[in-house]
Structure 1
Amino acid sequence: MKERYLRFNQLAMKGLWWLVILGMMASLPVAYERHQTEQGSGRNVEVVFDYRDLLEISDTQPDPRRFIEEQLKLLGQHGVRSLAVYESTLNELKLGRRIEVFSSHEATALTQTPISPNENFTYILFTEKESVGQLQQTITEAFSAQNVKLRPWSYKNQPGMIIEMGMEEALMQTMDPDLTTMKKLKDQGFSLVVRMSNRRPFQTNPMDKLLGELQKLGVKWFIVDGDAVPGFVSAEDTVNLDKMGEMMRKHRIGLAAIEMQKTPQKGFNGLAKRIHHNVVRLHSFTETDSTKLTENITPEEMDGRIQGVADRLVLAVKDRNIRMIFLNARAVKSAEKGKIVNPLDAMYQALDRQEDGALPRIEAAGYKFGTAQSFQLVHSSWQTVAKLLLWLGAVALIALTISYFIPEIALAVFVLGMIGSAGLFVLSSSLFAQALALGAGTCASSLAIMFALQAARRRREKPVGSRLGFAIGLLLRSSLISVIGLLFIVGLLNQITYMLVLEQFRGVSLLHLAPIAIVGIYWLLFLEPMNYRERIKRTRALLSKHISVLWIIAAALVAAAGFYYLSRTGNEGQASAFERYFRSFLENTLGVRPRTKEFLIAHPLFLLGAYLSYKYRNALILIMIGVIGQASIVDTFAHLHTPLVISSIRVVYGLAFGTLIGLVLIAVWEIVVRSWRRWVPRLNES
């Protein structure tokens, strides 16, 4: 029985490789359809400015209305064609000079009429006769819904209202967007984006009426204001969310997903699903970001910051499928300048100064400016069959990796893997796809280095041929093995939810660390031909070694290096100021920035290690360091919101520049060694 199983297992090894190849082939058309989705639709980029911020800045000016008119013209001249309008509040209407607001005490002083000392109401005067009716209706509907009493009031024939609520609280209450202001902005040529919140009680008929009015004004997108989408109650109570999704589909209004939020907005994914993922990704240049453009620094430093803003916006569109840029600004008090300053002029420079501005560079990259468009997903029915082949191939790849350690269990691992993954699919299809993608990506980069270590060991035993040719060829072959992993990631996770980052590929840190651990164990215990008894003996010897102070220092250094390595991994990775400048230089020079750990560290050291492995056994350690680069190749494609073209160029650049730097290292090594051999004997003779 045992002999029969081992015979089947030996035959299965070739079959597993064929399953991997079939899985790779199945991933190619899937990747092509993803490329069609990325390139064939949704190429419009919409630049949006926060209109409320403009109102708040105008409140610091001697002539607010004139300031707003001037800035609206400048916004249009500098490429901003859309404005974000919030749901109204009394405070915003006051900033817009649509109304004047008084407390009971202020109304007493204004009218010289005594008011009850127990009264704490809000008094309103309308400043524009033509919009009194519309504002009265908006305010009445909002406060009546909360059972707050209202009554008419006037002062010197100027109409107004009394709201029986304290002024501080009344100023915060959310109402319908100010349709009169929106019509004026539309007449001036601006598209409108609305910020919608979940602060008001959800009512179907009023909401449907509002969405109809917004549709007439050309509103295509909502940006959620706050921590929950309109209609969200709880994860269990989705009735209102269903109604909101139905109404948004009816009025053809989509959602903008704000990237890199620390806390996801409640109900966003559910509402996005209900509107059939009519979603675009949004990059927010926040008020806090804008204050850095108001600081009292030298012109050279300010120029660098302006250029940094431009670089940031270009990178967001090119590298992260951003289709809406949301600009915010804030006026601040400058003690050094002795006045209130705002960042608007600096922001205009960042947008379109000559060819260095963000907008000309985005346009040069093949994008157009206009109303944002969602991705039109290209997804053929045959992808179901492709996913089946990818499933088989991913499990086969994991089994083959394990066979590098224990060859006899490859077939058993494959069978158990298929059964276990099928159970995982029943439990959660998303978890199933992510687990397979993570396993395939980890195994591919591990296999790449294990293959390289074996090849280098064999070449050291039979040193024939060109060392340089062997080193370059080994790097390329190893990288092609890593490509297997990225093909499985792209194929298994080809979902619109990943492209829009509504769902994230978890386990990126494991994708970086696991190959290092796997390759380390392989190098210590499995690289050299040994039987299992000898490996157990070596393991016991390693575990029973006495730990020296040098070992502790080395372990601390490795831990520190690992922590730094992880701190720079992923979207929230940390980088020094110099590294940010270096990244910006590479991005602006090459158009696409190669990953630093690939072309500056891992690939050059791999190349040097392969070159030296002809003579030196310890050179294999340098090849092992190359696992960082191979894991990085796979991880590049794990950023599923990055276009495939950009990721591919990044990997090619990493290999090209890494090879060049590796050749320099080899040349330096040869110069040092030959100089040593030439001069050391002469020094000994003297």
Structure 2
Amino acid sequence: MLGTYNHWNKLFLKGLWWLVILGMIAAIPVAYQRHETEQGSGRKVEFVMDYRDLLEISDTQTDPRKFMTTQLQEMKKHGIHSAAIYEATLNELKLSRRIELFSSHEAMALTQTPISPNENFTYLLFSEKDAEQKLQPLINQTFSSLNVKTRPWSYKNQPGMIIEMAMDDAMLKTMDPDPITMQMLKDQGFTIVVRMSNRRPFVANQMDALLGQLQQFGVKRFIIDGETVPGFVSEKDLKNIDIMAELMQKHNIGLAAIELQKTPQKGFNSLAKKIHFNVVRLHSFTEKDGEKLTENITEEELKSREQGVADRFVLAVKDRNIRMVFLNAHAVKSLDKGKIINPLDAIYASLDGIGEDSTLPRIQKAGYVFGPATSFQLVHSGWQNAAKVLLWLGAIGLITLTISYFIPEIALAVFVLGIIGSAGLLVLNSTTFSQALALVSSTCAPTLAIMFALRTGRRKLENPGGSRLAFAIWLLLRTSLISVMGILCIVGLLNQINYMYVLDQFRGVSFLHLAPIALAALYWLLFSEKMTYGGRVTRARQMLQANISVLWIIAAAAIAGAGMYYLSRTGNEGQASAFERYFRSFLENTLGVRPRTKEFLIAHPIFLLGGYLCFKYRSALLLLLVGVIGQASIVDTFAHLHTPLLISSIRIVYGLTFGTLIGLALIVVWEIVSRSWNRWVPRLSE
């Protein structure tokens, strides 16, 4: 029985590479259709100004309405053609100068009429006839739905009303967006984006009427205001979400997904799925970001920060599929300048006021157009399901092949168990299946690439011959090509629109960074040389029982520190120094796409030098081992599924190109130092 298994296992190992290659070939057209999705639709970029922020800034001006008129003209002049309107509140209507509000005490002082000491109401005056006609029904409806009484009131023939609720409380109640503001913005040619909340009770017919009104004003998209979407009750009760989705589709209104939120908005993913992913990604320029443009700095430093803002916006659009940039600003009291200032002029300058390095011309040059943001139209052919079956087999084969480099005798069993186990996982949860298989296979690819390179390097050490330089370059390219298998697994298995919008996220970036390093090191220590399993156990025991010196402790601390730093720079929360941020900006602005520094400055050059030196030096295999960092980085680049495939591909090509050039420079330096050493050291010793 065992002999039969070993016979089939050997035959299986011979054909395993072909199974893996077949699966990877099947993933290529799947990746191409994702590229078509990214390049063929959703190419409009929209800049949106927070209208409430403008109102709050205007409240610090001597002529608020003139300020608002001027700023709306400036916005259009500088490429901002959309404004975000919130659900109205009494406070916002007061900022708009449509109403004036008074507490009971203030009303008593104003009218010189005694008011009951037991009364704490809100007194309201309309500033204009148009405001009374359009806002009074809206206010009455809002407070009557809260069982709060309202009644007419006037002062010196100026109409108003009394709301029987404390003013601080009344100012927090939300109502439908201000129709006067929306009409004004529409007349001036602005696209209106509405911030919708879940603060009011969800009533289907009222929501239907509101969405119909918003559709008439040209509203095409909501940005959710708050922690939950309209209609959300709980993850188990999605009845209102279903109704909300039907109404949004009826009125052709989509969503904007705010990136980098610490806490996802509850119900967003469910609502996005039910409206068939009529979603765009949104990048938020916050009030705190705007404050940095108002600090007491030199003109040169201000221009540098404006350039940084422009770089940030361009990078968001090109690298992260952002299609809506949401601009916030607020007034700041500057004690140094002795006045109240705001960042609006600096924001305008970053958009189109610093020449060709401004935001707008660079986005246009990259092939985008400006207008109301549109969602991606997914390109998905029916044959993708068959292709993914082949990719599934290829991914299991890739995992099996990696394990066979450690224990070849169990390859066939691992493959069969892998197929059965992953099939069961697919039945239980398809999302977990695709993510787990993508993570494990993409981890195996760079591991296998480096193990294959170490085997090749060891054979070359035993049988040197041929051009060392050609061998080193060929080894780097072949190793990177094997790592590409991990890319195809990620792209092929996770080719769903929800990953492009980061509604679902590929987990395990840290694992993808560290696991190949650990596995490749384990292979180098225990499995790269021919020996029995007993010999490997003996070597492992000797290593564990070896006396620890102070030097070892220092080396371990250095490695741990390097590992922590390496992890701190991965993922969206990665940290970088000021110099590195400047260097990244330089590369981005010069090349258009920034290669990863750990690839072209560290891993690829060291790997290339190791390939060159493994003809003569056994220790050069350690340099090949360092190359696993670059190979893992190649795969990880495509784990950022919100980045267009074209951008990620260019980044990898740049990394290999510049890494090769720097590696060639290292080889030249090595030759100079080596020959000088061989020439002068004997003479000095004499």
Same topology, TM > 0.5: yes
AA paired with 1:65?
Answer: R
Post-superposition offset of 1:552: 1.3
State yes or no: 1:614 paired with 2:625: no
Instruction: Say whether 1:475 aligns with 2:480.
Output: no
Which residue is 2:139 aligned to? 139
What residue is the counterpart of 2:308 in the other structure?
Answer: 308
Inter-partner Cα distance in structure 2 for 1:530 and 1:199: 69
Q: Cα deviation per residue 1:509-565 (whole Å; 9 max; x = unaligned)?
A: 101100001001000000011111111111111111111121111111111100100
Cα deviation, 1:437-466, whole Å, max 9, x if unaligned, reads 111111110011001101110001111011
What is the CA–CA distance in structure 2 between the aligned matches of 1:664 and 1:577, rounded to whole Å? Answer: 27
In 1: Cα distance, 2:435 partner to 2:16 partner: 21
Deviation at 1:16, TM superposition (A): 2.2
Residue number in structure 1 paired with 2:648? 647
Q: What is the match of residue 596 of structure 2?
A: 595
* Structure 1 match to 2:576: 575
Question: RMSD over aligned Cα, in angstroms?
Answer: 0.7
Count of aligned pairs between the two proteins: 685
Q: Partner residue of 1:258? A: 258
1:168-317 aligned within 5 A: 168-317=168-317
Deviations 1:588-627 (A, max 9, x none): 0000000010000100110111111111111111111100
Match of 2:59 in 1: 59
Q: Partner of 1:617: helix, strand, or coil?
A: coil
What is the aligned partner in structure 1 of residue 23 from structure 2? 23
SS in 2 for 1:355: helix
Question: Corresponding residue for 1:359?
Answer: 360
Q: Which stretch shows the higher mean deviation, 16-25 or 463-472? A: 16-25
Match of 2:332 in 1: 332
Q: Aligned runs of 1:439-454 on 2, under 5 Å?
A: 439-454=440-455
Matched, 1:104 2:68: no
Shift of 1:17: 1.8
SS in 1 for 2:42: coil
**2-structure distance, mates of 1:79, 1:189:** 12
Give the partner amino acid of 1:43.
R
What is the rounded CA distance, in whole Å, between the counterparts of 2:68 and 2:583 in structure 1?
Answer: 39
2:33 counterpart of 1:36:
no
Alignment match, 2:459:
458
Once the two structures are superposed, what CA deviation does each residue of 1:269-316 show, in whole Å capped at 9, x if it has no partner? 000011010000001111110000000001111111000000000000
User: How much does 1:180 deviate?
Assistant: 1.4
Match of 1:667 in 2: 668
Q: Which amino acid aligns with 1:144?
A: S
Inter-partner Cα distance in structure 2 for 1:143 and 1:562: 59
Taking the aligned partners of 1:572 and 1:145, their CA distance within structure 2 comes to 44
Look up the match of 1:151.
151
Normalised by the length of structure 1, the TM-score is 0.99
2-side partners of 1:668 and 1:406: how far apart?
40
Spell out, residue by residue over 1:371-401, the C-alpha distance to the aligned partner (whole angstroms, 9 max, x if none): 1110000111111111111111111110110
Q: 2:17 is matched by which residue type in structure 1? A: W
Correspondence list, 1:371-520, <5 A: 371-520=372-521
In 2, Cα distance between the equivalents of 1:661 and 1:145?
70
Query: Which residue does the alignment assign to 1:547?
Result: 548
Three-state SS of the structure 2 residue aligned to 1:46 is: strand
- Equivalence for 2:343: 343
What is the TM-score with the length of structure 2 in the denominator?
0.99
Aligned position for 1:565 = 566
- Give SS of 2:114's match: coil
Output the CA distance in 2 between the equivalents of 1:23 and 1:599. Answer: 29
Q: What amino acid is the match of 1:347? A: I
Q: Secondary structure at the match of 1:125?
A: strand
Cα distance in 2 between the residues matched to 1:341 and 1:414: 66
What is the CA–CA distance in structure 2 between the aligned matches of 1:259 and 1:551, rounded to whole Å? 44
Taking the aligned partners of 1:158 and 1:215, their CA distance within structure 2 comes to 33
Are 1:681 and 2:679 counterparts?
no
Distance in 2 (CA, whole Å) between partners of 1:119 and 1:609 is: 84
Q: Structure 2: which 5+ runs fail to align?
A: none
Give 1:498's aligned amino acid.
Y
Task: Work out the CA distance in 1 between the residues paired with 2:428 and 2:291.
Answer: 48
d(CA) in 2 for partners of 1:390 and 1:591?
33
Identity of aligned residues (%): 73
Query: Within 2, Cα distance between the matches of 1:501 and 1:384?
Result: 22
Q: Report the alpha carbon displacement of residue 55 of structure 1 after superposing the two structures with TM.
A: 0.3
Residue 532 of structure 1 is matched in structure 2 by: 533
Kindly state the Cα deviation for residue 143 of structure 1 after the two structures are TM-superposed. Answer: 1.1
Q: What is the identity, as a one-letter code, of the residue corresponding to 1:501?
A: V
**Aligned partners of 1:270 and 1:231: how far apart in 2?**
11
User: Secondary structure of 1:192's match?
Assistant: strand
Q: Aligned residue for 1:164? A: 164
> Which residue number corresponds to residue 586 of structure 1?
587
**1:671 is aligned with what amino acid?**
I
Write the distance in 2 (CA, Å) between the matches of 1:570 and 1:425.
Answer: 27
Quote the offset at 1:482 in angstroms: 0.2
What is the CA-CA distance between 1:14 and the residue it aligns to? 2.7
Amino acid at match of 2:529: E
Taking the aligned partners of 1:483 and 1:430, their CA distance within structure 2 comes to 23
The more displaced of 181-190 and 607-616 is 607-616
Letter of the 2:426 partner, please give it: F
Rounded to whole Å, the distance in 2 between the matches of 1:82 and 1:423 is: 49
Counterpart of 1:369, as a letter, is F
Whole-Å separation in 2 of the counterparts to 1:669 and 1:172: 71
Other structure's SS at 1:135 match: helix
CA–CA distance in structure 1, aligned partners of residues 19 and 132 of structure 2: 72
CA–CA separation in structure 1 for the residues paired with 2:274 and 2:155 = 49
Q: CA deviation at 1:657?
A: 0.3
Tell me which moved more, 130-139 or 433-442.
Answer: 130-139
Find the counterpart in structure 1 of residue 74 from structure 2.
74
Report the Cα offset of residue 4 of structure 1: 0.7
TM-superposed deviation, 1:131:
2.6
d(CA) in 1 for partners of 2:571 and 2:517? 17
CA distance in 1, matches of 2:512, 2:123: 61
Q: Which amino acid aligns with 2:409?
A: E
Q: Which runs of 5+ in 1 are unaligned?
A: none
For 1:281, the aligned partner's letter is: R
Whole-Å Cα distance in 1 between the matches of residues 130 and 282 of structure 2? Answer: 36
Instruction: Note closer, same or farther for the CA distance 1:14–1:128 as it changes in structure 2 (3 Å cut).
Output: farther
Runs of 4+ in 1 over 6 A off after TM superposition: none
